[in-house]
Amino acid sequence: TLSVYGRRLPSGLWDAAKDCARSWRGDPARLRVELWPVGTELRYRCEIRTATPNALGPLGIGLGLRPVQVEGGLGALKWKDRSLLRRLGSGLEANEELLILDAGEEVLESGSGNVFALFEGTIVTPVIDHRVLPGVTRARVIELASRAGLTVKEQPLGLAELGRAAEVFLTSSVRGVVPVTSCRESHWPIGDKTRTLHAALGELWMTRTQK
């Protein structure tokens, strides 16, 4: 908040977030905190959102990606204003999501998560920089992949290269590990590595919820 608004977090935010989390007695969920400026102050809101079925349940049929170029990417912050994504995603089907590309068709992220691709036993994900949101779930999945003996590389990934992957999946704090099955003329199965990481993340989330 200092770099964006020039203000520190409100003094009551931490206690409000804890109270909100303690009040929840339902199914596994996510705590969401929103901040916005009003005059010289920062206002905030905390709310609980139930985890989507895909996050802890079956993988489903997979997503299709629709590539769209956004020069410079969406940035390293998650903004409440999603109007750009709504405009770019006009006409998306229920099982489709945007794939954000920079110049030269460099893959950055999806409209709501980070991108991973499997190549001959190595998982590749785009480098986190000023163009890409550093997802919390992305970091967790990298840890889980390493524990499972998988090699993970953070490096530039082009759209053409993505098409040659054996498996593709997304990660987000709401949906967990989400398989991708198509993008333009490319098609991928829901593979073993995607299933393994989906199950491992679900187990991790359930363990922390029960604690």
What's the pLDDT tens digit per position in 92-121? 998 999 999 999 999 999 998 999 999 998
Q: Where are the alpha helices (DSSP H) in 23-135?
A: 53-56, 83-88
Work out the angle at residue 48's Cα, subtended by the Cα atoms of residues 29 and 178, and round it to the nearest 5 degrees: 40
**pLDDT value for 82:** 82
Q: How far is CA 61 from the centre of its chain?
A: 18
The partner residues of 35 in beta bridges, in order of sequence, read 44
Distance CA 66, CA 140 (A): 26
**pLDDT value for 177:** 95
Pairing of strands 63-69, 176-183: parallel
Percent of the chain with pLDDT over 70: 93
**pLDDT value for 8:** 86
* Confidence category of residue 67, pLDDT binned at 50, 70, 90: very high
For residue 77, pLDDT beyond 60: yes
Q: Which residue has the higher pLDDT, 52 or 13?
A: 13
Q: Are the C-beta atoms of 100 and 109 separated by less than 8 Å?
A: yes
**pLDDT value for 98:** 96
For residue 186, pLDDT beyond 90: yes
Q: Are the C-beta atoms of 79 and 47 separated by less than 8 Å?
A: no
